[in-house]
């Protein structure tokens, strides 16, 4: 058991000099706090730093969207937080604090194997990217839902577990007689629903969904997303929804965190990100797909490609592709700070030197003003 450090008390003012550890807790009642999580790939002397000091807080009952390009570390974050990182991934630092219903905090990264097994699925369940391959092809789906239940509740009989599985299938809109089906007898959408039903089997408080709809067509995507939102309202779990599809996130998420090159660059309420992006990358992401409603806007791609994580220098990793970059961007890697726009929601944060004059002054330069594109109100 680890208690939160006093620095994390809600209401503390965000300080530019040490933005990461003193960021405001966006929710007064966090269920999952990821703090300064770092992940390397490779065991040799020169590992690739895939996650660099990522901090993220998930409030109880909240849907947190995690967006970013391929390879930015979204899935790695999900795997690291659940300690499912396949080799050669290695968690090199940080904490993943889980708060259970009675308010006791546990650091998932410091549990031993037995405790970890007991915590998995019970506290935090995960729905993976590959809907097609997430089910064991040789077992009936009923058995696969039931074995998860029985692993955590050994007193449950197989019959009771299967009854629960039938209820769970009903919850996601699949006929209970499908319990006897094998995975290959189900469509992709049904398999993903089965995975959601399976994830809800032990009434977890956190559901991590790693691109749950990527392999599905748009109609099925919409149904699944609506179903998740509806189940969340009914059952009250919290969701970390990982996707590269920002337009989808705006529909479902309460809050969105944008990731770039293994770091979180912006963290704000969903509508704020959508209407008032503060980071040049968020702004560019939003201009790379057509808006669902409202006036049409010009579509602009993001020039260049994501940086090679093994060759990152000192400066801002986005500087090479950023239209607002200036001299200091090559020297200082920006920390998450409160945006330099008066009247913004105090709980939002952005990692951009345009919003961080004190960091620019620290390297002896005159901070340029915040461009109008990054200070929309």
Partner 1 sequence: MRFFLRRLGFYVITFWAAVTINFFIPRIMPGDPVRALIAKNQGRISTDAESALRTLFGLDKDTTLWQQYVDYWNLILHGDLGTSFTYFPTPVADVIAGAIPWTIGLVGIATIISFTVGTLIGSGIGWRRGTWADSLLPISTFFSAVPYFWLALIAITIFSVTLGWFPASGSYDRSLVPTFSWEFISSVIYYGTLPALTIVISSISGWILGMRNMMVTVSSEDYVTVAQAKGLSERTVLFGYAARNAILPQVSSFALSLGFIVGGTLIMEIVFSYQGIGYYLFTAVAAKDYPLMQGIFLVITVAVLFANIVADFVYGVLDPRTRQEG
Provide the binding-site residues for partner 1, judged by CB under 8 A. 82, 84, 86-87, 116-122, 125-126, 128-130, 133-140, 147-148, 151-152, 182, 184, 195, 198
The SS3 call for residue 321 is: helix
Q: How far is the CB of 39 from partner 1 (least distance, A)?
A: 16
CB of 173 to partner 1, least distance (A): 21
Could you tell me the smallest distance in angstroms from the CB atom of residue 255 to partner 1? 24
CB 213 to partner 1: min, Å? 15
Task: Kindly tell me the burial class for residue 159, based on how many C-beta atoms sit within 10 Å of its own C-beta (0-12, 13-18, 19 or more).
Answer: exposed
Q: Report the nearest approach of partner 1 to the CB of residue 84 (Å).
A: 6
Q: Which residue, 184 or 275, is less far from partner 1 as judged by CB?
A: 184
Q: Hunting for tokens 């691109």 — which residue is that?
A: 211
202 vs 349, beta carbon nearer partner 1: 202
* CB nearer partner 1, residue 86 or residue 301: 86
Compare residues 183 and 280 and give the one whose CB is closer to partner 1: 183
Torsional sign, CA 315, 320, 324, 325: positive
How many separate helices (H) and strands (E) can be counted in the chain? 10, 11
- 73, 247 in Cβ contact below 8 A? no
Using an 8 Å Cβ cutoff, are 239 and 232 in contact?
yes
In sequence order, the 6+-apart residues with CB closer than 8 A to the CB of 186 are 141, 178, 194
Report the 3 state secondary structure along 46-88.
Answer: CCEEEEEEEEEEEECCCEEEEECCCCCCHHHHHHHHCCCCCCC
Nearest distance, CB of residue 21 and partner 1, angstroms: 29
CB-wise, 203 or 366, nearer to partner 1?
203
Residue 342 burial (10 A CB sphere; 0-12, 13-18, 19+): exposed
From start to end of the chain, where are the E strands?
A: 30-41, 48-59, 63-67, 89-99, 105-107, 124-127, 206-210, 238-243, 255-260, 263-269, 349-350
Instruction: Please say whether the beta carbons of 54 and 73 come within 8 A.
Output: yes
Contact 75, 129 (CB under 8 A): yes
CB of 184 to partner 1, least distance (A): 5
CB 92, min distance to partner 1, A? 19
Question: 38 near 73, Cβ under 8 Å?
Answer: no
Choice between 184 and 361, CB closer to partner 1: 184
Q: Shortest Cβ distance from residue 195 to partner 1 (Å)?
A: 8
Please, which residue, 18 or 177, has the CB nearer to partner 1?
177
Q: Which is nearer to partner 1, 54 or 194 (CB)?
A: 194
Whole-Å CA distances, 291 to 220, 221, 288, 298: 20, 17, 9, 10
Residue 255: exposure state from Cβ atoms within 10 A (0-12, 13-18, ≥19): buried
Is the Cβ of residue 210 or residue 254 nearer to partner 1 in the bound state? 210
Tokens of 90: 């290695």
């Amino acid at each position: 058991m680890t208690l939160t450090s006093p620095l994390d008390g809600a209401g503390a003012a965000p300080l530019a000099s040490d933005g990461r550890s003193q960021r405001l807790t966006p929710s007064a009642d966090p269920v999952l706090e990821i703090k300064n999580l770092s992940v390397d790939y490779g065991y040799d002397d020169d590992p690739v730093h895939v996650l660099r000091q990522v901090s993220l807080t998930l409030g109880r009952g909240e849907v947190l969207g995690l967006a970013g390009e391929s390879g930015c570390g979204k899935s790695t974050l999900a795997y690291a937080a659940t300690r499912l990182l396949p080799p050669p991934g290695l968690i090199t630092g940080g904490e993943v604090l889980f708060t259970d219903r009675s308010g006791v905090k546990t650091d998932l990264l410091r549990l031993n194997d037995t405790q970890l097994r007991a915590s998995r699925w019970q506290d935090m369940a995960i729905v993976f990217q590959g809907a097609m391959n997430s089910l064991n092809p040789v077992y009936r789906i009923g058995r696969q839902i039931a074995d998860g239940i029985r692993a955590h509740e050994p007193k449950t009989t197989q019959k009771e577990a299967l009854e629960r599985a039938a209820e769970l299938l009903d919850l996601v809109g699949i006929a209970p007689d499908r319990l006897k089906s094998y995975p290959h007898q189900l469509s992709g959408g049904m398999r993903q629903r089965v995975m959601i039903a399976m994830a809800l089997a032990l009434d977890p408080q956190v559901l991590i969904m790693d691109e749950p709809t990527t392999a599905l067509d748009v109609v099925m995507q919409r149904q699944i997303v609506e179903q998740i939102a509806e189940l969340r309202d009914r059952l009250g779990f919290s969701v970390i929804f990982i996707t590269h599809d920002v337009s989808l996130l705006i529909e479902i998420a309460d809050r969105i965190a944008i990731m770039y090159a293994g770091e979180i660059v912006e963290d704000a309420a969903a509508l704020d990100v959508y209407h008032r992006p503060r980071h040049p990358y968020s702004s560019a992401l939003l201009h790379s797909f057509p808006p669902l409603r409202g006036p049409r806007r010009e579509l602009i791609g993001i020039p260049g490609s994501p940086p090679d994580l093994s060759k990152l220098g000192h400066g801002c990793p986005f500087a090479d592709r950023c239209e607002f970059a200036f001299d200091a961007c090559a020297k200082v890697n920006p920390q998450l700070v409160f945006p330099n726009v008066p009247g913004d929601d105090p709980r939002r944060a952005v990692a951009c030197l345009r919003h961080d004059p004190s960091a620019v002054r620290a390297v002896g330069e005159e901070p340029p003003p915040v461009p109008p594109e990054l200070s929309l109100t």
